[in-house]
Structure 1
Amino acid sequence: MHRSVPFAAAAVAVVCAGTAPAAHAQGVTVYGILDQSVEYLTNVNAAGDSVKRMPNLTGSVPSRLGFRGVEDLGGGMRAVFGLESGLAPDAGTLNNGGRFFGRFAYVGLAGPWGTLTAGRLANMTFLAHGNETLGGNLYSNASLDPYIPNARSDNAIGYLGNFGAFTVGGTYSLGRDTAAGGGPAATNCAGEGAGGGRACRQWTVLLKYDGASAGAAFSHDVMNGGTGALLGMGDPAFRDRRTVLNGYVRWGGAKIAAGVQRRHRDAAADLKSNLWHLGVSYAVMPAVVVDAQLSRLDVAGSDADATLLAVRGSYAFSKRTTIYAMAGRIRNGEGSAVSLSAGGTVGAGLSQSGVAAGIRHSF
């Protein structure tokens, strides 16, 4: 459930700073999701130990708190903004590299021609992966490529246009990641240095079709490295490119989705990989949904491949409250140490199994 409050009340801080609210302001929407699971995971280290834990990155979807607003400027033009925080309910902390509004923070203009925004944006790779059956789930393609849920760009300008069943969009970032805490959400590539250049620049594009019975998405993402950047991208000449092509069909009560992400990181250690997935979602009855997905990461010239299988069942008490349970297994190649669970660990070359159950509430 989303709740709108009078814009004037939400803008008290702005008024106190000396700026009056606009006469045509319409409202601010406050919304969120709290999703927490409890998990059992095997082979979390080389000794083969297991762990029981509350994951802090995701359950069935990542938790969040957000604010969106719109002002009618007349003539079909609107001012828009959005602020969204990624939350870790297990400890009450922030995700997305510790940023306060780490999922996005933008302001912009919208009209019949589309929406133009500036700030921290979810880029086109993130939007293209929306067709994945288990997108956002604890066991999903995000385990095989942690960039997928972190496909967000700081210091970015973005465009998104919806034209019937088609969506087109793109982003351009002057400095893709200003956080330096490590990990895929904080890679220390702030850019925007003196003299410009291509250090830490990034651009993404999207073409998407969503019909009543079928849909497809294509995206291309190019990010440059920078001095001191993490994850093997410590030189402005380095590039990491991802191309996504996926789609879905609806058949009876089922939705079948498949796709591939092709990656080429042209850096000191060249990396080429393909990430494939095939998934199905089936509504057994209106309140009960079963999802299953098989994913395969193929790394060229390496034994760092991994295969992941996950199944999830959900029961909706209402439109706002759902309980779920999931099980999964990942098989790693001899040179692979990919955990089944987002943010988890696994002993190198070991297979890993996991089960989790949780509750999700939307407001």
Structure 2
Amino acid sequence: MKARWSLGFLSISAALAGNAHAQSNVTLYGIIDTGIQYYNNATAAGGSVVGMPSLSGKLPSRFGLKGVEDLGGGYRAFFVLENGFAVNNGALGYGGRIFGRAANVGIDSQYGSLTLGRQMNMTLYALTDADVIGPSNHSLAVFDTYLPNARSDNAIGYMGKWRGFTLGGTYSFGRDAAGPAGASATNCAGQVPGDFVACRQYTAMLAYASDNFGVTASYDVMRGGTGASAPLSSSADTDTRTIVDGYAKYGSLKFGAGWIRRNTSSTTHSQSDIFFAGGTYLLTPAISVDAQAVRYILRTRSDATLVVGRVSYFLSKRTSVYSSAGYIFNSPSSAIPVSAGGSVGTGKNQVGFMVGMQQRF
């Protein structure tokens, strides 16, 4: 009897050890990125700001856990938990959520990946290659804070790749449970009994990429809900973004350009366009140079133009230092700052500088 019990115990232990080994492919990763910035004309009366940015340096700071388990037959289970935080004061980003950047689980196979939970949606994927500056302190984020924060709560996502083509989409039952605080929080959790479309969101993307060039198109529709942040305070209200962009590579040079159209339909209608073009060049294996120009037009109201330049020096594969400079030209009725999360007097042009450091792990 004792021998049988011992054999049974060993069998269970071996099974648990095998399961633990199968699930052990878990990676801790992250980026810590911050610096010191300066910009002028912070108010209508003028005045300058010197300090540390709270939203982003070259990239937003984050840490996360991701894991993959091979299920056999070409299928893999995966999960991602990713936190976003401010280095200057340690505060949680994305509406104060522990895993505000991502919290999802899914299955991946030769047919594509299916993801459940909070995840990047297709608007963010569509900008990944063409926007050479990315979600930095001086970037597209100053015109539309949603662009570097394009994620959806309560979402089902799919992405498949075949012969250079990528097809992806997300559907959210309630696009944003955080709010009202936060750069992208909108307090629209949805899933309301009797109001099926409240806070729904769907995004779609079609892309083609080769070794030397790529093109992408995406479509993003958000619905509002009762109590949500303006202007989407009703489920009849919509906010739609269309993106068409592309990139090309030649040796150490990469060029990217695109167009973003936004239409907001609520008690009032607004339409805006963003045109961007830029390039990045690897001068040496340790030095890269990036530059981008962005034109913003808010129909019948205002317009602005942003010019950005950045130099990065890689101390190692994981550590770099950088310097970024931006200048924004505002029309008389425009008040768009050169720095994400910054301020500017209406109709005033603004210059901004930043020096920073980034560490990856």
Q: Is this a same-fold pair by TM over 0.5?
A: yes
Aligned to 1:122: 120
AA aligned to 2:93 is N
AA aligned to 1:82 is V
AA aligned to 1:283 is L
Shift of 1:23: 6.5
Look at both structures and tell me which one has the larger radius of gyration over its CA atoms. 2
- What secondary structure, in the 3-state scheme, does the structure 2 residue paired with 1:126 have? helix
TM-score, normalised relative to structure 2: 0.92
Is 1:170 the counterpart of 2:172 in the alignment? no
| Residue segments in structure 2 that go unaligned for 5+ positions in a row | 1-17
| Contact map agreement 1:42 1:50 (CA 8 A) in 2 | yes
Shift of 1:234: 0.6
| Contact map agreement 1:179 1:188 (CA 8 A) in 2 | yes
Aligned to 2:153: 154
- What secondary structure, in the 3-state scheme, does the structure 2 residue paired with 1:88 have? coil
Aligned to 1:69: 67
Shift of 1:197: 1.7
For 2:197 and 2:210, the matched residues in 1 are separated by 38
AA aligned to 1:247 is G
Shift of 1:22: 6.0
Aligned to 1:227: 226
RMSD: 1.5
For 1:74 and 1:267, the matched residues in 2 are separated by 49
For 2:230 and 2:347, the matched residues in 1 are separated by 21
For 2:247 and 2:266, the matched residues in 1 are separated by 34
Aligned to 1:187: 186
Aligned to 2:196: 197
| Contact map agreement 1:182 1:230 (CA 8 A) in 2 | no
For 1:216 and 1:96, the matched residues in 2 are separated by 30
- What secondary structure, in the 3-state scheme, does the structure 2 residue paired with 1:94 have? coil
Aligned to 1:284: 283
| Residue segments in structure 1 that go unaligned for 5+ positions in a row | 1-19
Aligned to 2:337: 339
- What secondary structure, in the 3-state scheme, does the structure 2 residue paired with 1:185 have? coil
For 1:21 and 1:88, the matched residues in 2 are separated by 37
Aligned residue-pair number: 344
| Contact map agreement 1:109 1:116 (CA 8 A) in 2 | yes
- What secondary structure, in the 3-state scheme, does the structure 2 residue paired with 1:34 have? strand
- What secondary structure, in the 3-state scheme, does the structure 2 residue paired with 1:98 have? coil
Task: Indicate the larger mover: 24-33 or 310-319.
Answer: 24-33
The one-character-per-residue Cα deviations of 1:265-298 (angstroms, maximum 9, x if unpaired) are 1111211111000101011111111100000111
CA 1:170/1:22 → structure 2, altered by over 3 Å: closer, same or farther? Answer: farther
Identity of aligned residues (%): 47
For 1:254 and 1:268, the matched residues in 2 are separated by 46
Aligned to 2:238: 239
For 1:59 and 1:183, the matched residues in 2 are separated by 17
For 1:156 and 1:231, the matched residues in 2 are separated by 22
Aligned to 2:50: 52
| Contact map agreement 1:190 1:200 (CA 8 A) in 2 | yes
Shift of 1:64: 0.6
Aligned to 1:272: 271
| Contact map agreement 1:260 1:274 (CA 8 A) in 2 | yes
Shift of 1:21: 5.1
The one-character-per-residue Cα deviations of 1:71-98 (angstroms, maximum 9, x if unpaired) are 1111111111001011211111211121
- What secondary structure, in the 3-state scheme, does the structure 2 residue paired with 1:305 have? strand
| Contact map agreement 1:26 1:72 (CA 8 A) in 2 | no
- What secondary structure, in the 3-state scheme, does the structure 2 residue paired with 1:133 have? coil
For 2:143 and 2:230, the matched residues in 1 are separated by 15
Task: Indicate the larger mover: 92-101 or 216-225.
Answer: 92-101
